[in-house]
Chain A
């Protein structure tokens, strides 16, 4: 073997040492396989539904049958109740033991992870946001994320990475050692995924809960800012120190406590609070619609 061949062997050996950890690949594979199974099931279900519709249309209702609205058919292929808010991006690496604790859609779509049972945004945490436009990164350090230009800012045990993929993405980590390294590693693992959607737990006159946080699928709190009123739906009773006044809301007996009204309905607590009492609080709680299948399975789950 000559000198060039020896150098080639050594160079390839060096490259092999940089093989990525299999974790992200295995996670991505697991997700894709799951999605594939779901797709097969959905296609089969949609196919059976189509056959039933065709038989019904052709045999039973021949002249009187009106074809279904195409949107209804499409809705049948959407997971949950079809009210999913797209998140579009997902990380494939997070520090060990981190689970998801918050999803917000009020401004920039945001997801937060941290240790199981921790309050969202407390230390340590990882936050991923998709922005509409690039924030001011003057004074930030230049970096690279998947070959794309990026900027990093480190402040003590916190670091943020911003880069422009299809959208402007922002990964922030707080309360971790080697914050810069962790933030960049999370950012490198982020992949576009159009199928990641989130169905908020409730709706109020066409607007959906903007923020959902919790520690487990059956222990969560969601809210919507409705003008000056905060409308909330939660699995736990809100803190209402005595005295409480009885009030009829949603056809049940609820309570009024200062500027808050709350009622338990279907196992969930629905409440509205404002800086001053008004009958509008009761009206708003009356109008809250709980979605059929709220998407809370992500709460307390890792990647």
Chain B
């Protein structure tokens, strides 16, 4: 039985927002993307609601919307803005070094090219395999491996080059 659009939204809006937040590294952009996608999904819900996994279909729409986002802020990839993130949902107090390392890694992920970032999110957050990522991104499996390999190389290199203690300073001066 086809679920109603309203039921679908009630059930899926939070998972979609979570996925979009991780994908975009920007809660505001995530809200815009999810809004846009749900509005379009509603217009063709007869078709989307009847596929096997409507949530997977809509998730793919979110991915595509992000990758083809026409309203890129300042016409460039948006670097993660900790102030913006924390204004929406303040981070849980955690002053350990471990927390700083995760923040530092977030900064580096946010600077990755969009497709590489999407591939990384799908692999390490969604636990997709190469074929699933390829299907989601609409590219070959080899391309997926290439995206992930390059992303890992970048993240690993920046991690190696990073001076000790940089993590604790990353929030400063960012906007």
Contacts and interface: CB of A to CB of B under 8 A. Distances in A.
A68 to B, nearest CB: 32
Contacts of A15: 21-22, 25, 85, 106
A7 B159 contact: yes
Interface residues of A, number: 32
A134 B91 CA distance: 32
Contact-residue bracket for chain B: 35 or more
Given A25-B17, A147-B175, A20 B9 contact: no
Interface string A10-23: 11111111111110
Interface stretch (B29-37, B50-58, B62-70): B29-37
B30 A20 contact: yes
A26 B101 CA distance: 34
B13 A7 contact: no
A5 B152 contact: yes
Given A16-B18, A19-B21, A8 B87 contact: no
Nearest to B121: A12
B131 interface: no
Given A16-B22, A16-B125, A18-B88, A11 B31 contact: no
Interface in A1-45: 4-5, 7-22, 24-26, 28-29, 32-33, 36
B134 interface: no
B38 A29 contact: yes
A164 interface: no
B136 to A, nearest CB: 16
A188 B83 CA distance: 12
B146 interface: no
B105 A8 contact: yes
A9 B27 CA distance: 19
Contacts of A188: 28, 87-88
A11 B106 contact: yes
B168 interface: no
B87 A184 contact: yes
Contacts of B35: 25, 28-29, 32
Contact of A20 (B31, B102, B121): B31
B48 interface: no
B97 interface: no
B85 to A, nearest CB: 5
A33 B83 CA distance: 31
A277 B44 CA distance: 64
Contacts of A7: 101-102, 105, 159
Nearest to A146: B28
Contacts of B103: 11, 14
Contacts of B42: 33
Nearest to B74: A147
A8 B22 CA distance: 11
B17 A12 contact: no
B39 interface: yes
A4 B31 contact: no
A8 B155 contact: yes
A9 B127 CA distance: 10
Given A11-B105, A11-B106, A144-B83, A19 B14 contact: yes
B109 interface: yes
B118 to A, nearest CB: 12
A219 to B, nearest CB: 32
A144 B26 CA distance: 14
Given A8-B105, A12-B22, A147-B84, A20 B13 contact: no
Interface of B: 9, 13-14, 17-18, 21-22, 25, 27-28, 30-31, 34-35, 38-39, 42, 73, 81, 83-89, 91-92, 99, 101-103, 105-106, 109, 120-121, 124-125, 152, 155-156, 159, 175
19 contacts: A7-B102, A8-B120, A9-B124, A11-B105, A15-B106, A16-B18, A18-B21, A19-B14, A20-B27, A20-B30, A21-B89, A25-B17, A25-B34, A32-B35, A36-B39, A144-B81, A147-B28, A147-B81, A147-B83
Given A8-B109, A19-B17, A144-B84, 11 more contacts: A4-B155, A8-B155, A11-B102, A12-B124, A15-B22, A15-B85, A16-B21, A20-B30, A20-B89, A144-B87, A147-B83
Interface of A: 4-5, 7-22, 24-26, 28-29, 32-33, 36, 144, 146-147, 184-185, 188
Report the 3 A-B pairs with minimum CB-CB distance, sorted nearest first. Answer: A11-B105, A19-B18, A12-B125
